[in-house]
Each structure stands twice: as structure tokens, then as C-alpha cells.
């Protein structure tokens, strides 16, 4: 073959291979279920979390915030289970396993809130609320020291994520703000309640909401909405220096960068997932190393409508219901065809296919 013809032929091969590779980096799952809509109209539903029942995974709960109302819990089929702290206007929610309180080990839910309840006018305020989760009753009972844990100098918190240090065994939470301020608090037992003490501050350049902490690897990830995803050490002595591991514009990451979540797998494997709100997709990165980009999730409508303008996201590798026997990815839907905003549920195997890990053996309480 003549040199020019050989060059053109090889170029065609590489272009074709590149096109196939690009096609393989986008997956299009359909939601298998959805939660009941939140009761408030317009921009209300914001952030989900998932709590895994210790004995019966099918009794696990999805927690979802209504930032015009209260904190909802849903069954794994999406039906309503409970509403707590109505009118507290929670924004972000997270779960901690294995906290010692009143001489027993409990799981906690916590949320950043912007107002007090109607029956607590004298105690209303911005900050963080904490609930103990009763596994037998599948109910949440508030254990906050006072009306709220005061954060950000009394200003309104946006994002929130929890962290359990495997190095020290201590429990923390982080809050973020519309000014790009990030604060870390150590959780403290105050009598039979839970409080918090400020242990670190981090300053970013602009609005930051989504965050997630990797309990095992000891990292904190924060989404600065117009710039990208920052990575910091999660321990309180890690200081304020971090690095951007995913920039807006790279691999299609499009502002605003919103919710973050971690898919845990054994041996430190798994994925960091981000809501790329500007193009209605989700970006998946390796959990370890330099957080290499892996794949884009671009969901599509099926039996359940598609999602758009997603804020918060959550994922678990744990089997729960029969429908989600290999894990579930939960996302907020900014425009729900069935009414007010809600949360959509995707089976992890529909996302993973042959591109990503499916590991149901990692246990959220095992390393605690």
C-alpha cells in the first residue's frame, strides 16, 4: 500500500475506534421508580440520602429534603413513609452510621436547615438539625442540642455532608455556603443530645453547595458550582489547601456543578459521581488515585419521565428492594412530569453495564 493510502486508512481506523470509545462513555438508564412528589410547588425538592436497614435491606429508607417544607422519608418503592421537621426548610441531608449516644449505638440523619418549625417559633433558626433513626420503627427522632447547631456565624447553610474518620473514630459534618465558605464541625454528645464544635474553615472563591466525604480514603470533595470539583483532606488538621480534580468544561462537566456522591466498593474502589446540571447529565470519576473521568450518565425517559436540572444525588451499592438488588442511584428531578418535584430511582446495574463495577459486598457499617 502506498504511504499516503496507508496513512489515510490508519487515520480512518483510529477515528472509527475513537468514535466507538466516545459512544461507550455515555450510558442512558431509565428510572425504575420515583418518590411521591414533595408537597410544595416550584423549586422545593433538593437533596436525597439513603439509609440501609441493619437487618432487612428491603426496609431501608430514602431521605429527601423539601427546602420549602420538611425532611421526608420514603420507602424503597418511592411511597411516603414519614415527614419530620415540617417548615424547617432543609436543604441537604446525609446519614452517619454507628454514633454512640445514650449508651447505645445509633444511626443519625442530619440536614442543613434554614428556618424553625411552626410550633418552635421561639427556637427557629438556621443551622444543622440531627435525628436518630429507629431501625425497628423506621422513624426519625430529633436529637439536636437546641433548635439547631449554629454554623457559618448564624448565616444560612447550603450544602452538608457527614464524615466518620477511620483514623480517629470521630464524627464530623461539613457545611457550605453561597459565599464559598466551608466549615467542618466535630460532633459532640451533650447530655442526651448531639452538638457540634467548629474545627476547620476552608474558603473557595464562589458559591459551593454539593459536598461528599470519603470515610475510608479520608477525602472531602466540594462542588464549586462554576469552577468544578475540589478535593481536600477530610481530617480537621488537613488545612485549607486543596486541588481541583474536575474542571467545568472538561469531559463535558457543565455549570452548575451540583450534588456529589460516592459509590463505595471493596478495596478502596468505587466512584465519585457529580450532577452536571448545565447539561442534565451525571459525570462518573474513579474514587481513587487522581479521580480519572470514566463515564457520563445521560438518563432517558421510559416508564418514568426523565430528569432535568438535578441538584442533589445519592447512591448505594447495597441491595435493598427486589427492584434494586444491586444498588440504586437516586437523583432529584427539577421538572417532574407527574407534578411537584421529586426523586427518581435508577438500578445501579442499568448504569454500570460492562463499564462500571457492581460490588454489593461492601457494607456501610462493616468498617465502623
Q: For 291-319, how does the pLDDT look when each residue is reduced to its tens digit (9 = 90+)?
A: 999 999 999 999 999 999 999 999 999 99
How far is 22 from 19, CA to CA, in rounded Å?
A: 5
How far is 38 from 23, CA to CA, in rounded Å?
A: 36
Higher pLDDT: 11 or 132? It is 132
Q: Which residues of 248-266 are buried (b: 16+ CB within 10 A; e: fewer)?
A: beebbbebbbbbbbbbbbe
The predicted pLDDT at position 117 comes to: 46
Exposure on the CB side of residue 179, measured as CA atoms within 13 A: 11
How far is 190 from 134, CA to CA, in rounded Å?
A: 20
Distance of alpha carbon 117 from the chain centroid: 25
The predicted pLDDT at position 124 comes to: 55
Q: Are 112 and 92 in contact (CB under 8 A)?
A: yes
Q: Residue 162 in 3-state DSSP?
A: strand
Q: Residue 95 in 3-state DSSP?
A: strand
**pLDDT surpassing 50 at residue 5:** no
The predicted pLDDT at position 3 comes to: 43
How far is 191 from 198, CA to CA, in rounded Å?
A: 19
The predicted pLDDT at position 367 comes to: 59
Q: Give residue-wise pLDDT tens across range 210-231.
A: 999 999 999 999 999 999 999 9
Q: What whole-number percentage of the chain has pLDDT above 90?
A: 89
Q: Are 288 and 217 in contact (CB under 8 A)?
A: yes
pLDDT mean across residues, the chain: 92
Q: CB within 8 A of 354, min separation 6: which ones?
A: none
The predicted pLDDT at position 364 comes to: 96
Q: Per-residue confidence at 14, pLDDT binned at 50, 70, 90?
A: very low
The predicted pLDDT at position 194 comes to: 98
Q: Give residue-wise pLDDT tens across range 145-181.
A: 999 999 999 999 999 999 999 999 999 999 999 999 9
**pLDDT surpassing 80 at residue 23:** no
Q: CB within 8 A of 189, min separation 6: which ones?
A: 100, 101, 195
Cα-based angle 318, 315, 214 (whole degrees, multiple of 5): 95
The predicted pLDDT at position 368 comes to: 54
How far is 14 from 20, CA to CA, in rounded Å?
A: 10
Radius of gyration of the chain (CA): 21
**pLDDT surpassing 80 at residue 24:** no
Q: Per-residue confidence at 115, pLDDT binned at 50, 70, 90?
A: confident
The predicted pLDDT at position 306 comes to: 97
The predicted pLDDT at position 116 comes to: 54
Domain ranges of the chain: 38-352
Q: Per-residue confidence at 254, pLDDT binned at 50, 70, 90?
A: very high
The predicted pLDDT at position 228 comes to: 98
**pLDDT surpassing 50 at residue 99:** yes
The predicted pLDDT at position 8 comes to: 40
Q: Per-residue confidence at 136, pLDDT binned at 50, 70, 90?
A: very high
Q: Return the CATH architecture of domain 38-352.
A: 6 Propeller (2.120)
Q: What whole-number percentage of the chain has pLDDT above 70?
A: 90
Q: Residue for cell digits 435491606?
A: 57
The predicted pLDDT at position 17 comes to: 36
Amino acid at each position: 500500500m502506498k504511504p499516503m493510502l496507508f496513512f489515510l486508512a490508519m487515520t480512518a481506523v483510529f477515528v472509527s475506534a475513537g468514535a466507538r470509545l466516545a459512544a461507550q462513555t455515555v450510558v442512558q438508564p431509565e428510572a425504575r421508580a420515583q418518590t411521591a412528589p414533595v408537597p410544595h410547588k416550584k423549586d422545593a425538592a433538593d437533596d436525597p440520602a439513603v439509609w440501609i436497614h441493619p437487618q432487612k435491606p428491603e426496609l431501608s429508607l430514602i431521605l429527601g429534603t423539601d427546602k420549602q417544607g420538611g425532611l421526608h422519608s420514603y420507602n424503597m418503592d418511592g411511597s411516603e413513609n414519614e415527614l419530620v421537621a415540617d417548615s424547617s426548610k432543609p436543604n441537604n441531608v446525609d446519614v452517619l452510621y454507628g454514633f454512640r449516644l445514650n449508651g447505645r449505638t445509633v444511626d443519625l440523619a442530619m440536614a442543613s436547615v434554614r428556618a424553625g418549625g411552626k410550633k418552635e417559633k421561639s427556637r427557629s433558626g438556621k443551622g444543622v438539625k440531627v435525628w436518630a433513626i429507629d431501625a425497628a420503627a423506621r422513624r426519625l427522632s430529633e436529637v439536636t442540642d437546641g433548635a439547631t447547631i449554629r454554623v457559618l456565624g448564624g448565616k444560612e447553610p447550603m450544602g452538608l455532608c457527614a464524615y466518620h474518620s477511620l483514623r480517629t473514630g470521630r464524627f464530623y459534618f461539613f457545611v457550605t455556603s453561597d459565599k464559598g465558605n466551608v466549615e467542618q464541625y466535630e460532633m459532640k454528645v451533650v447530655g442526651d443530645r448531639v452538638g457540634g464544635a467548629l474545627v476547620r474553615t476552608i474558603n473557595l472563591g464562589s458559591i459551593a453547595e454539593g459536598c461528599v466525604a470519603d470515610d475510608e480514603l479520608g477525602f472531602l470533595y466540594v462542588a464549586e458550582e462554576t469552577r468544578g470539583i475540589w478535593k481536600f483532606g477530610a481530617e480537621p488538621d488537613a488545612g485549607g489547601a486543596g486541588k481541583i480534580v474536575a474542571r467545568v468544561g472538561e469531559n463535558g462537566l457543565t455549570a452548575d456543578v451540583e450534588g456529589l456522591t460516592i459509590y463505595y466498593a471493596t478495596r478502596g474502589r468505587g466512584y465519585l459521581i457529580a450532577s452536571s446540571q448545565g447539561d442534565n447529565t451525571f459525570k462518573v470519576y474513579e474514587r481513587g488515585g487522581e479521580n480519572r473521568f470514566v463515564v457520563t450518565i445521560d438518563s432517558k425517559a421510559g416508564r418514568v419521565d426523565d430528569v432535568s436540572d438535578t441538584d442533589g444525588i445519592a447512591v448505594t451499592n447495597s441491595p435493598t428492594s427486589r427492584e434494586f438488588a444491586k444498588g440504586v442511584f437516586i437523583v432529584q428531578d427539577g421538572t417532574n412530569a407527574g407534578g411537584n418535584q421529586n426523586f427518581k430511582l435508577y438500578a445501579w446495574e442499568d448504569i454500570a453495564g460492562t463499564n462500571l463495577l457492581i460490588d454489593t459486598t461492601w457494607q456501610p457499617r462493616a468498617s465502623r
